[in-house]
Amino acid sequence: MNRADVSSVFVVAIDGPAGAGKSTIGRALAARLGLEYLDTGAMYRSVTVAAMRGNVDITDSEAVAALARRIEIHVGSDGVRVDGIDVTEAIRTPEVNALVSTVAANASVRAEMVQRQRAWARDRGGGVLEGRDIGSVVFPDARLKVFLTASADERAQRRALESGGDVQEIADSIRSRDRKDSERAVAPLAEADGAIVVDTTGRPVEDVLEELLGLLGVNP
Ligand code: DC
């Protein structure tokens, strides 16, 4: 699909580091707009779980890319499945957190995921997509591009509240992942051209949501 095909669909692109509020805001915004929501990080996590379960060496980029092209990945409000097997919880383990950046740095895996993300939005006439490269690579012509941020402390606190884990360990884990995601050669985490930077530190969800609806010209 070329850019002309995808630019006609109504896409909201939400990028930013781990724990910035992308999923919470993305889901709420999609519900308000009557659009579907896609967590693209869950796709990279699914490839990681498939590689772990299939004993594919994560550092063997050819083998991981071939696996990524072969598997069927479902990411939806009813959960995440790889080839029909539920991995909703399996994709959120500390082991996956530690390995997923390596999979996400694989250029051939990214090419496959980007193609699937564009097809997902095309099939639905648009949607709210959340990730690291949605505004920069997947949908550079999105109707709205948002780069969500929050202080490192608050991002770690939020993740700790969600998972019940130790804040310090979580802070170390997200710092390491953000560094790898920002420093990789292919589609690094960065503010896309034309993206609006929104800092969610200390702000209620509803407040951020109203700002985004305002940017879209939709009455909250
Ligand atoms: O959003 P998340 O924490 O579930 O993302 C998991 C990993 O995948 C993270 O290391 C960033 C990477 N990712 C990416 O590179 N591009 C995306 N569009 C989404 C996620």
Judge whether 171 lies within some domain: yes
Mutate to test the pocket of ligand 1, among 27, 73, 181, 182 (most ligand atoms within 8 A of CB): 181
Q: pLDDT, tens digit, for every residue of 162-219?
A: 888 889 998 898 888 889 888 988 988 889 999 999 999 999 999 999 999 999 998 7
Q: Going by CA atoms, what residue is nearest to atom 16 of ligand 1?
A: 132
Judge whether 220 lies within some domain: no
Judge whether 22 lies within some domain: yes
Q: Is the pTM of this model over 0.95?
A: no
For residues 44-55, average pLDDT: 98
Query: Does the Cβ of 130 fall within 6 Å of ligand 1?
Result: no
Q: Going by CA atoms, what residue is nearest to atom 6 of ligand 1?
A: 41
Number of separate domains in the chain: 1
Q: What is the DSSP letter of 91?
A: G
pLDDT of amino acid 207: 96
Judge whether 201 lies within some domain: yes
Least confident of 17-26, 103-112, 157-166: 157-166
Span from the CA of 17 to the centroid of ligand 1 (angstroms): 9
Give one DSSP letter per residue of 25-36, joined into a string: HHHHHHHHHT--
In degrees, rounded to 5, the angle at the alpha carbon of residue 169 between the alpha carbons of residues 168 and 171 is 65
Span from the CA of 137 to the centroid of ligand 1 (angstroms): 14
pLDDT of amino acid 8: 64
Q: Which atom of ligand 1 is nearest to the CA of 42?
A: 4
pLDDT of amino acid 39: 98
User: What whole-number distance in Å separates Cα of residue 86 and Cα of residue 218?
Assistant: 36
pLDDT band for 2, please (50, 70, 90 cuts): very low
The domain spanning residue 150 has which CATH number? 3.40.50.300
Mutate to test the pocket of ligand 1, among 23, 25, 40 (most ligand atoms within 8 A of CB): 40
Sequence-distant (6+) residues with CB within 8 A of 99 are 48, 51, 52, 58
Q: Going by CA atoms, what residue is nearest to atom 14 of ligand 1?
A: 132
pLDDT of amino acid 164: 83
Q: Which atom of ligand 1 is nearest to the CA of 18?
A: 3
Q: 116: domain range? A: 3-215
Backbone angles phi, psi at 81, to 5 degrees: -135, 145
pLDDT of amino acid 213: 96
**pLDDT surpasses 90 at 135:** yes
Span from the CA of 80 to the centroid of ligand 1 (angstroms): 15
pLDDT of amino acid 131: 97
Judge whether 56 lies within some domain: yes
- Check: CB of residue 45 under 8 Å from CB of residue 92: yes
Judge whether 163 lies within some domain: yes
Q: How many CB atoms lie within 10 A of CB 88?
A: 13
pLDDT band for 9, please (50, 70, 90 cuts): confident
For residues 40-62, average pLDDT: 98
Span from the CA of 176 to the centroid of ligand 1 (angstroms): 13
For residues 73-89, average pLDDT: 97
Judge whether 145 lies within some domain: yes
Query: What are the start-end ranges of the H helices in 71-124?
Result: 94-104, 107-124
**pLDDT surpasses 70 at 6:** no
Q: Going by CA atoms, what residue is nearest to atom 1 of ligand 1?
A: 41
Q: pLDDT, tens digit, for every residue of 82-113?
A: 999 999 999 999 999 999 999 999 999 999 99
The residue assigned the tokens 């598997």 is 71
Q: What is the DSSP letter of 138?
A: I
User: What's the full length of the chain, in residues?
Assistant: 220
Give the type of residue at 30: A
Nearest to 184 by CA among 102, 112, 111, 129: 102
Q: How many CB atoms lie within 10 A of CB 210?
A: 15
For residues 105-127, average pLDDT: 97
For residues 17-29, average pLDDT: 94
- Check: CB of residue 147 under 8 Å from CB of residue 9: no
* Average pLDDT for the chain: 93
